[in-house]
């Protein structure tokens, strides 16, 4: 089965299923496809642009949803953890070895610093940190 987007002479758009393209051609040539809105038999395949546009909108929606999810994550971290900025690796190490009070912290670490933490088996997570300003 194949689905075609069709359009009648007055501009009504509708979808219809056919066994294959030849079945469509045959029915179309015989004038046996009628518009469900006006009953008109002058029906042609409609361009597929509307469904492409819909797919693009879905993609944009997903990007917006992901962005708000990441912003929410950032809000949660910021309101529950202490910002230690570029001292993150040092502070995480102090907490791990009991030299600083245990608490949630966040900040930045270079790739080398992060690798060193992994080697010392210090638990931390890398988060996608997105900026709030731009859209």
Least distance (Å) between residue 10 CB and Zn ion: 5
Q: Is 41 in the site for Zn ion (CB under 5 A)?
A: no
Q: Is 37 in the site for Zn ion (CB under 5 A)?
A: yes
Number of H helices, E strands in the chain: 4, 5
Out of 12, 74, 93, 94, point to the residue binding Zn ion (CB under 5 A).
12
Q: What is the three-class DSSP state of 117?
A: helix
Q: Which is nearer to Zn ion, 40 or 107 (CB)?
A: 40
Q: Is 105 in the site for Zn ion (CB under 5 A)?
A: no
Put the strands of the sheet holding 13-18 in their side by side order: 13-18, 2-8, 43-45
3-state helix, strand, coil in the chain (%, to 5): 45, 15, 40
Out of 6, 24, 28, 35, point to the residue binding Zn ion (CB under 5 A).
35
Which residues are CB-neighbours of 62 under 8 A, at least 6 positions away?
none
Least distance (Å) between residue 42 CB and Zn ion: 9
State the residues that interact with Zn ion by CB under 5 A.
8, 10, 12, 35, 37-38, 40
């Amino acid at each position: 089965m194949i689905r075609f987007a069709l359009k009648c002479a007055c501009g009504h758009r509708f979808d219809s299923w056919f066994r294959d393209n030849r079945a469509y051609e045959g029915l179309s040539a015989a004038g046996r496809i009628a518009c469900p809105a006006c009953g008109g038999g002058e029906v042609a395949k409609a361009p597929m642009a509307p469904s492409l546009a819909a797919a693009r909108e879905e993609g944009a929606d997903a990007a917006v949803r992901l962005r708000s999810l990441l912003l929410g994550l950032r809000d949660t971290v910021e309101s529950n953890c202490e910002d230690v900025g570029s001292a993150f690796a040092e502070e995480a190490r102090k907490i791990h070895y009991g030299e600083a009070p245990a608490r949630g912290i966040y900040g930045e670490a270079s790739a080398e610093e992060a690798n060193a933490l992994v080697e010392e088996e210090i638990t931390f997570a890398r988060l996608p940190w997105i900026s709030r300003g731009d859209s």
